[in-house]
Structure 1
Amino acid sequence: MNRIEDRLASLELKHNVKILYACEAGSRAYGLATESSDFDIRFIYIAPLKDYLSLRKKKDTISQQDDMYDIQGWDLKKALLLAGKSNPSLYEWMLSPIVYRELDVAMLPLNDIILKDYSRKVLAFHYANMAKNNLHAWSKKNVASHLVHAVRASLMLEQVIHNDEFATIEFQHLIKNSNTFTNEESSLLFCLKTGEEVTDIPLISQLFAKVSNFITASEELMVHLEEGKVKLSVLEELFFQQLGIEGE
């Protein structure tokens, strides 16, 4: 943890920004990491006021990558604009069980906006497309990670459609709350993810078919989901508060 905090602090100094929130994304946050998994660190930052007033266009992302760490941050303005569009990445960041920098107190309303006011329809279509794309990739390349991601996306889709209260990105919790996928299938996916030999080939075929059928069945429900109620005025007020600008 100290190494990650040191990296975050270094980025703040290098780019003259303040990190408002930082978390783990990807396999470690999902509970699907292996010994070779890297760290996928994501954060939201705010730049000095003059950067937002400058006539010159400023970068709105910060990235740093090596063999062990994949670090990416979004400027607050970019993050808020994407929140207004119910961006799925922000949704998962707020649900991450591994937090390196707790959300700035003044930004706590953003957590509620993302987890309560997001468009379930946008999220559902995102996860349905992710599942479809990974199923297609699995059928073409037979790479284990594609089937794992297809099932994970399907579990997220199931959660978005059918669960109004409990939300998580942790794979084991998703399986536990699923009415579609089983612990046996979860164990199979962990074997595939870690490269263990899988002898139950029929179960893999059944799992592929189950994901495909689940997506098809879900498509009829997705079109009736809520559009969301994120208000740009509320996001803008959060932005002004962080910049120290008083509202009207």
Structure 2
Amino acid sequence: MNPQFCTSILAIALLLGVAFATLDDAHNAVPFSYNGELNGTKHWGKLSPSFQACESGNHQSPVNIITSQALLNKTLGPLYTNYSGAADATIINSGSVIGVHFEGYVGDLWTEGKKYSLKQIHWHTPAEHQIDGKIYPAALHVVHEADDGSVAVVASIFNYGRQDPLIQEIKPYLNKLAGPNTKGNKIPIGKLDTKYLRQNTQRYYRYRGSLTTPPCTEAVLWSVLPEFPEIITSASKKFQIYRNSSVF
């Protein structure tokens, strides 16, 4: 079946075990990178016993979504979010990605009859998920966690084009994190409007995978949106600085 995006809810049928993902940052003490000879992606599973899923996991993310193989799942409802209008936030340079962590309760994502609370957002460049083998310049991951510790991530994949309004709003803080020796830096940014993150859509690719960085914990519920927002080249290059870092 060749899926059409106009009215369908799309899903990739993948089965998982029951291990829960975690948002715990304790693994950050173990250095890893994307490009290093000793601690690059091919070696993540050997860097720490807690990273073994990166090498031996059966349902690892990211994936290449083949649209012709996507299955229509009529039992899935729309993605529904009820984020608050604005929330206190802190922008963080982790060394491999730039992220925004929200303080306190911000709102929820409802999917498959379960509530996941919004915790943080972060960018990857280039985008980690591919669609029909195409690599896109960047992606925004909106990360949620349920009361039982399970994780749901909504991924928006960017094309080059106009400036994204969310990136435009936090641009002054990004500039402060663009210099050398900024790994681990945290900058409170006050109230950040969550209107840029709200999703109430029936069009998404659904599968169960993993965290895309160590410890690569599985049982993450992924929703990858097939509609592409835009990002300007300069913003993508700014995020690229952190992905190329070898010190995380």
User: So what's the TM-score if we normalise by structure 2?
Assistant: 0.28
Which structure has greater helix proportion? Answer: 1
Task: Considering Cα pairs closer than 8 Å and 6+ residues apart, tell me whether 1 or 2 has the greater RCO.
Answer: 2
User: So what's the TM-score if we normalise by structure 1?
Assistant: 0.28
Which structure has greater strand proportion? Answer: 2
